[in-house]
Amino acid sequence: MTTLLEKITDQARALAVRSPWIYRINAGSCNGCDVECATTALIPRYDVERLGCQYCGSPRHADIVLITGPLTTRVKEDVLRVFAEIPDPKVTVAVGVCPISGGIFRDGYAVNAPIDKYLPVDINVPGCPPRPQAIIEGIAQAIAIWRERL
C-alpha cells in the first residue's frame, strides 16, 4: 500500500523539471568518437541541447556519462576514479565499438575493453565512429532511463 509520503514524493518527482548534464570521458580513444560527440553539441544541425540537456565540465555535476575509447591501461585508473566521482543515479553510454568490444584495438597489449567489466554500462552506441544521430539517440535513451531513476 502506498503511503502518503510516497505519493507526495512521486508527485514531486513528476513535477520536478530538471535538465540532465552530460559529461564525456575519453578512455583512450583515437578521438574519432569524441569529435562526433562534440558535433552533437556544437553544430546546429544536430543540437543535442534541444533534448533539454547540456554538456558540463565536471564529473560531480554530471547525470549522464558518455565514454569513448577501449580503456587503455594508461588511463584506466583515472577513468575509474573520475567515473566514481559522478553522483548516482547516473546513466552510462558507451560510445563507439572501442568501449563495447575493443574495436580495432581489441588485441592490443594495453587494451582493457570491454569497459563493462569495470563499470556498469546502460546503453551501447556501436559504430566506428557512430554517427551523431546514433549518439543523440543513445542520449535520448539515457535521459529516459535517468528520469526513471530519479
Stretch that binds ligand SF4, among 48-56, 57-65, 97-105, 109-117 (CB under 6 A): 97-105
129 touches ligand SF4 (CB under 6 A): yes
List CB contacts of 115: < 8 A, sequence separation 6 or more.
27, 67, 70, 71, 94, 99, 100, 121
Cα–Cα distance between 25 and 79 in angstroms, integer? 7
Choose which of 20, 59, 103, 138 interacts with ligand SF4 (CB under 6 A): 103
How many CB atoms are located within 10 Å of the residue 99 CB? 32
CB of 129 to ligand SF4, least distance (A): 4
Q: Using CA atoms, how far apart are residues 23 and 146, in angstroms rounded to an integer?
A: 14
Axis crossing angle, helix 132-149 with helix 32-42, rounded to the nearest 10: 70
Q: Which of 25, 33, 48, 62 binds ligand SF4 (CB under 6 A)?
A: 33
Binding mask 41-70 for ligand SF4 (x = CB under 6 A): ---------------------------xx-
Q: Which is nearer to ligand SF4, 32 or 147 (CB)?
A: 32
- Residues near ligand SF4, by CB under 6 A: 29-30, 32-33, 68-69, 96-98, 103-104, 128-129
